[in-house]
Amino acid sequence: MAAQGPALPCLPFKTKKDMESLRGSAAMIASVLADADDKQRHSQAVLLWLKRLEQVAFDANNVLDELNYEILRREVEYRNQIFKGNKVKKCQKN
């Protein structure tokens, strides 16, 4: 049976389009935060909202980092399995 490539982790981001959309949203949030910070608004409600938005952006970046790590880990694991399989086949031929 042929080895299959690494599957994406069981997360709501199953397509490249979904991941790009999240990256775009994170970039937009970062821009809004930078603009608001530049204007230095003093409204407590706005400041609270900005703090929450900043946390959401931070969390979204963490999710992207974890997803990228998991994809890379699975790719390495998959390549190691193929390498080990080829090594065993070469030993059996000798």
* Other residues' Cβ atoms within 10 Å of the Cβ of residue 8: 14
The span from the CA of 47 to the CA of 88, in Å, is: 61
pLDDT number for residue 37: 67
- Structural domains in the chain (count): 1
Instruction: Please report, for residues 2, 19, 57, 94, the alpha-carbon distance to residue 64 in angstroms, rounded to integers and kept in the order given.
Output: 30, 8, 11, 46
pLDDT number for residue 26: 81
The span from the CA of 26 to the CA of 59, in Å, is: 10
Tell me whether residue 8 is in a domain. Answer: no
Tell me whether residue 36 is in a domain. Answer: yes
Tell me whether residue 2 is in a domain. Answer: no
Tell me whether residue 67 is in a domain. Answer: yes
Tell me whether residue 46 is in a domain. Answer: yes
pLDDT number for residue 2: 43
pLDDT number for residue 44: 77
pTM: 0.51
Tell me whether residue 45 is in a domain. Answer: yes
Tell me whether residue 64 is in a domain. Answer: yes
pLDDT number for residue 85: 74
pLDDT, mean of each 10-residue run, the chain (94 residues): 48 67 81 72 76 87 88 90 72 59
Q: Please give the residue range of the domain that contains residue 67.
A: 17-93
Tell me whether residue 87 is in a domain. Answer: yes
